[in-house]
């Protein structure tokens, strides 16, 4: 990035910084043990994460940041009302329109990132370099090379990172993966992930930028484009300059669970091929309906599609002795599989019962979270390479160690996307 957090000193006037040591209240957690948090991107899941974080007595949320003044004012009001209800009658939450001002604050220990996808890596990298821990919504990246740089930065600066793939913190999901990993359905041969279809939309007229929105900052590193309402906020995910459509939206959840149950969460497939229906005109340009097949080195197939499943979205593991389906709930054949107990000498997966709580615990212990940067990156990668295979319309061989396509320069060029000046990786 052109200007890291440390380089904005002198360029902005920061408010008086209240030391973490004086932000406590009588009783409860002592101020010295409280984690000071700021939320960056506070619409949608950004609000959900913000509320979940501040519901913990050992965390204090002191600032919110969003390029949309309406969203940040709403978030500020939610935070202040929550702490007033908790007895902090004079508490004031700071609000910002520029994330760099938040990251520069010395009193902030960690941040949440709930922005559109194209801002996940730039903000997370700047935070890591400034010594902050990060809870970042999925998918962690907009393209593969971006995610790899994020992982290396987190490792270099020794930061705690949690990917917002909350399904990992559900008991049923963990239990399903443990059953598969411990052979309860025999030899695994196929995994199916069921995703919702995407959207197409008619061409949109150019509109004046709303007064409350800093549109230049919203675009950030993405290519410049004229403002229209459907480009921003939730529907950004169907424009490829900012996200990867349904594949990287819910696919970042379900394909993550597929690899967790398979045991390939730190690796990936060796080939990918698929077909999809793309819009021919209009604002949205990401895939609508699709079917993508991945093959792993052990021969297991992962088939990710918008094919309907009676239970809706989710993951189905198929072995030579039965199957297990999970997302929020769990089902299996034979049903007796669900009565199984994972023995003390069998594979037990990382246990978390609350995703945001797990992040806070790891900020304190400095241990890895249930979905650290490397895992989040690998889960996003299989979504990205699936989109690439559909765009190119041919089978691609993938090297999960080098994170490159084998002997395919055209495909490899799609692993990286240039940033718009003045933003750089």
C-alpha to C-alpha distance for 260 and 317, rounded to whole angstroms: 11
Find out if CATH 3.30.360.10 is the number for domain 168-342+373-413.
Answer: yes
Find out if CATH 3.40.50.720 is the number for domain 5-167.
Answer: yes
Q: How does pLDDT run across 101-134, given as a tens digit for each residue? A: 999 999 999 999 999 999 999 999 999 999 999 9
- Measure CA 132 to chain center: 17
DSSP 20-69: GGG---SSSS-GGGPEEEEEE--STHHHHHHHHHHTSTTEEEEEEE-SBH
C-alpha to C-alpha distance for 396 and 35, rounded to whole angstroms: 45
**352 CB neighbour count, 10 Å cutoff:** 22
Q: What is the mean pLDDT of the chain?
A: 93
Cite the residue boundaries of each domain of the chain with CATH code 3.30.360.10.
168-342+373-413
Helices (H), 343-372: 355-365
Cite the residue boundaries of each domain of the chain with CATH code 3.40.50.720.
5-167
Task: Please check whether residue 126 is in contact with residue 148, taking contact to mean a CB–CB distance below 8 angstroms.
Answer: no
At residue 130's C-alpha, the angle toward residues 127 and 131, to 5°, is 90
Give 350: exposed, middle or buried? Use CB within 10 Å, 0-12, 13-18, 19+: middle
Percent of the chain with pLDDT over 90: 89
Q: Look up the pTM and report it.
A: 0.92
Q: Could you list the pLDDT tens digit for every one of the 425 residues in the chain?
A: 344 433 333 333 333 344 443 444 343 455 668 999 999 999 999 999 999 999 999 999 999 999 999 999 999 999 999 999 999 989 999 999 999 999 999 999 999 999 999 999 999 999 999 999 999 999 999 999 999 999 999 999 999 999 999 999 999 999 999 999 999 999 999 999 999 999 999 899 999 999 999 999 999 999 999 999 999 999 999 999 999 999 999 999 999 999 999 999 999 999 999 999 999 999 999 999 999 999 999 999 999 999 988 778 999 999 999 999 999 999 999 999 999 999 999 999 999 999 999 999 999 999 999 999 999 999 999 999 999 999 999 999 999 999 999 999 999 999 999 999 999 98
**202 CB neighbour count, 10 Å cutoff:** 11
């Amino acid at each position: 990035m052109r200007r890291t957090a440390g380089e904005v000193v002198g360029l902005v006037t920061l408010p008086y910084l209240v030391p973490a040591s004086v932000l406590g209240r009588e009783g409860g957690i002592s101020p010295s043990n409280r984690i000071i948090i700021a939320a960056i991107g506070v619409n949608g899941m950004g609000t959900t994460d913000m509320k979940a974080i501040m519901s913990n007595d050992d965390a204090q949320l002191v600032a919110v940041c969003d390029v949309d003044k309406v969203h940040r004012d709403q978030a500020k009001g939610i935070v202040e009302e929550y702490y007033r209800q908790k007895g902090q009658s004079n508490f004031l939450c700071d609000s910002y329109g520029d994330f760099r001002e938040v990251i520069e604050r010395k009193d902030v220990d960690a941040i949440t990132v709930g922005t559109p996808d194209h801002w996940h890596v730039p903000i997370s990298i700047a935070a890591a370099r400034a010594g902050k821990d990060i809870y970042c919504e999925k998918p962690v990246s907009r393209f593969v090379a971006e995610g790899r740089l994020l992982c290396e930065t987190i490792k270099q600066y020794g930061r705690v990172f949690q990917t917002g793939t909350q399904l990992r913190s559900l008991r049923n999901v963990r239990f399903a993966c443990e059953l598969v990993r411990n052979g309860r359905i025999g030899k695994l041969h196929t995994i199916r992930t069921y995703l919702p279809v995407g959207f197409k939309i008619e061409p949109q007229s150019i509109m004046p930028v709303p007064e409350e929105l800093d549109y230049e900052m919203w675009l950030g590193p993405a290519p410049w484009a004229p403002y229209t309402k459907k480009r921003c906020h939730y529907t950004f995910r169907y424009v490829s300059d900012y996200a990867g459509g349904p594949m990287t939206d819910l696919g970042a959840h379900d394909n993550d669970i597929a690899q967790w149950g398979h045991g390939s969460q730190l690796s990936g497939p060796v080939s990918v091929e698929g077909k999809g229906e793309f819009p021919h005109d209009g604002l949205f340009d990401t895939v609508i309906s699709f079917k993508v097949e991945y093959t792993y080195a052990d021969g297991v197939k992962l088939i990710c599609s918008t094919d309907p499943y009676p239970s809706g979205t989710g993951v189905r593991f198929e072995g030579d002795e039965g199957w297990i389906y999970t997302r929020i709930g769990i089902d299996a054949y034979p049903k007796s599989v669900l009565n199984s107990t994972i023995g003390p000498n069998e594979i037990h997966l990382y246990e978390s019962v609350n995703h945001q709580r797990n992040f806070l615990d790891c900020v304190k212990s400095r241990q890895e979270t249930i979905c650290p940067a490397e895992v989040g990156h690998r889960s996003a990668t299989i979504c990205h390479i699936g989109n690439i295979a559909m765009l190119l319309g041919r089978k691609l061989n993938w090297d999960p160690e080098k994170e490159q396509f084998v002997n395919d320069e055209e495909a490899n060029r799609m692993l990286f996307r240039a940033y718009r000046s003045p933003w750089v990786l």
